[in-house]
Amino acid sequence: MEHSLIPVPVSVEAAVGTWFPLTPATRVLAPPGHARVGELLAAALRAATGYPLPVADAGDPGGGAIRLRLAEDAALGEEGYQLEVAEASVTLRARTPAGLFRGAQTVRQLLPTAPPWRLPGGRVGDRPRFAWRGVALDVARHFFTVEEVERYLDLLALYKLNVLHLHLTDDQGWRIAVDGWPRLATVGGATQVGGGPGGCYTREDWSRIVGYARDRHVTVVPEVDVPGHSNAALAAYAELNCDGRAREPYTGTGVGFSCLDVEAPATWRFLDEVLGELADRTPGPWLHVGGDEVELLGVERYAAFVQRVVRLVARHGKQAVGWQETAAADDPPPVLQLWKPGAAPAAARRAARRGSRLLLSPADRVYLDMKYGPATRLGLDWAGHVEVRDAYQWEPSALEGSGEPGTGAPEDRDGVDEGAVLGVEAALWSETLRDLGDAEEMTLPRLPGIAEVAWSPAGTRDWDGYRRRLAAHGPRWSAMGLRWHRSRQVPWPA
């Protein structure tokens, strides 16, 4: 089939000349007990076509339907699906509701942006390459409301991403209310970069975010960044500071100046209660503990802190994720997120050989806060300019050894196995972004390329084909009311 699907599926076979027409009588049939996935597909198709698209149980016979089925087929994996579009019906099969939801995004993308409302005939077989396909959204430097986070989740879901990592705390703001530590919200949450009101998610807000994500089969990973990037907490509670004196709120964009008192009992009571509460209120298996850019501790005190916080997370029944610096601990977190441009550091490669998995976020490829070019209004440029092609054309398994000496052992110069790579995560830091429109403009059109790196099979990268597929998404974003950057690398329709 002629398509502009992103991420490109594992296999696509066209039935040329065959079409499934959507009509005012078309129904969506969902598997018993899984109406939600049918509802979400129907809602997206309604928004485009204006047809009623009622959702019924899959037991319901009859043609003219888009039928969603759960099928025991091990080859489909956790998120794979098969789609068959024929003249009389559409059949989407998966082993799990998550697989049906991913396949539903393919159906949405196959629908044109204007009538006639019909789907091209053929078959698609598909499953993801990497298990973790995410975006980190910084709600600390500038606050994003629950509604904004939901709109951002819609965008992730359309490109088959499955993790939303929320950077909830930093020097400029603390964005999650915690019982027993009310000043985190009232003081820590009260400002943001450049001043302004800031904000903080209540218990109900957090439930709404994780619920909205769960419906879309997206796992929320909350990050509490410690021991650095912590001025908002240090302003809220004097006892977390080494000198016992509360800090002033911070609205600038510097880094490296804040650090919890890593030996104080108050700090460990604080971390235990904050991480414990977040663990209880978050359905996914991970808690991100940050650990980046700590400049005020020696190597040993830093490593000891990370060690202790990783164990604390495990005691609360979750697995810790840490930025790449946390590889310095004797027993590093189960997931290490690499962010610095260039190669994997020796410590991270060593940790990977001992069982930690690597999450790849190379800043010169996937940092959505980097400017597209010198004329970009928003964003930063410390990792260079990141154009659409840079974000798309790179290979996660080609992550090389950095050539740095490490321990001097020969294996420290090796690259990493693909098996050590858990996935790929884009990051949108919000020092320069004031609202969702700004976030969209930095996200589109780069995020779809990153989603394709994370989902599509190795060896399918083809810039010329990709930019033509991507061009067809511009009118979709406009129709959805999204703001996007008209990169000159892409042949957008006039």
Enumerate the active-site residues: 293
> Is 367 near ligand TNX (CB under 6 A)?
yes
Beta bridge partners of 220: 164
# of chain residues touching ligand TNX (CB under 6 A): 10
Per-residue contact track with ligand TNX, 327 to 366, x per CB under 6 A? ------------x---------------------------
Smallest distance from ligand TNX to CB 388, Å: 18
Smallest distance from ligand TNX to CB 178, Å: 22
What does the alpha-carbon distance between residue 315 and residue 279 come to, in Å, rounded to a whole number? 10
How would DSSP label each residue in 327-342? GGSSS--SEEEE-SSS
Rounded to a whole number of angstroms, the distance between the first and last alpha carbons of the chain is 24
Smallest distance from ligand TNX to CB 396, Å: 18
Within positions 439 to 478, which residues make up the interface with ligand TNX, using CB under 6 A?
none
- Written in H, E and C, the secondary structure of 427-474 is EECCCCCCCHHHHHHHHCCCHHHHHHHHHCCCCCCCHHHHHHHHHCHH
What does the alpha-carbon distance between residue 337 and residue 425 come to, in Å, rounded to a whole number? 9
Within positions 245 to 274, which residues make up the interface with ligand TNX, using CB under 6 A?
255
The long-range contacts involving 361-364, CB below 8 angstroms and separated by at least 24 positions, are: 361/136, 361/337, 361/424, 361/425, 361/426, 361/427, 362/338, 362/394, 363/339, 363/427, 364/390
What does the alpha-carbon distance between residue 82 and residue 74 come to, in Å, rounded to a whole number? 12
> Is 380 near ligand TNX (CB under 6 A)?
yes
Smallest distance from ligand TNX to CB 430, Å: 8
CB closer to ligand TNX out of 170 and 452: 170
Within positions 112 to 141, which residues make up the interface with ligand TNX, using CB under 6 A?
none
**Structural tokens at position 461:** 């990268």
Beta bridge partners of 288: 223, 321
Go through 229-246 and write b for each residue having 16 or more CB atoms within 10 A of its CB, e for each that does not.
Answer: bbbbbbbbbeebbeeeeb
**Structural tokens at position 429:** 């830091």
Smallest distance from ligand TNX to CB 427, Å: 6
User: What values do phi and psi take at 124, rounded to 5?
Assistant: -125, 130
> Is 223 near ligand TNX (CB under 6 A)?
no
CB closer to ligand TNX out of 159 and 339: 339
Smallest distance from ligand TNX to CB 370, Å: 7
CB closer to ligand TNX out of 126 and 325: 325
**Structural tokens at position 178:** 């915690």
**Structural tokens at position 352:** 């990977």
Smallest distance from ligand TNX to CB 254, Å: 10
**Of the residues 73, 150, 239, 292, which one makes contact with ligand TNX according to CB under 6 A:** 292
**Structural tokens at position 357:** 């998995």
**Structural tokens at position 370:** 């980097």
**Structural tokens at position 23:** 């009509």
Assess contact for 178 and 277: CB atoms under 8 A. Answer: yes
CB closer to ligand TNX out of 31 and 332: 332
Beta bridge partners of 428: 137
Q: Is 124 helix (H, G, I), strand (E, B) or coil?
A: strand
Burial of 419 by CB count in 10 Å (0-12 exposed, 13-18 middle, 19+ buried)? exposed
**Of the residues 215, 272, 293, 414, which one makes contact with ligand TNX according to CB under 6 A:** 293
CB closer to ligand TNX out of 26 and 172: 172
> Is 414 near ligand TNX (CB under 6 A)?
no
Q: Is 117 helix (H, G, I), strand (E, B) or coil?
A: coil
Within positions 415 to 444, which residues make up the interface with ligand TNX, using CB under 6 A?
429, 431
> Is 378 near ligand TNX (CB under 6 A)?
no
CB closer to ligand TNX out of 96 and 430: 430
CB closer to ligand TNX out of 339 and 394: 339
**Of the residues 130, 323, 372, 392, which one makes contact with ligand TNX according to CB under 6 A:** 323
Of 116, 74, 85, 93, the residue nearest 5 (C-alpha): 85
CB closer to ligand TNX out of 82 and 169: 169
Smallest distance from ligand TNX to CB 423, Å: 17
What does the alpha-carbon distance between residue 462 and residue 450 come to, in Å, rounded to a whole number? 13
Beta bridge partners of 136: 165, 427
CB closer to ligand TNX out of 367 and 394: 367
- Per the listing, tokens 């400049």 go with 295
Of 203, 212, 211, the residue nearest 185 (C-alpha): 203
Smallest distance from ligand TNX to CB 478, Å: 28
CB closer to ligand TNX out of 371 and 469: 371
**Of the residues 79, 84, 223, 369, which one makes contact with ligand TNX according to CB under 6 A:** 369
Smallest distance from ligand TNX to CB 403, Å: 22
Binding site for ligand TNX (CB under 6 A): 255, 292-293, 323, 339, 367, 369, 380, 429, 431
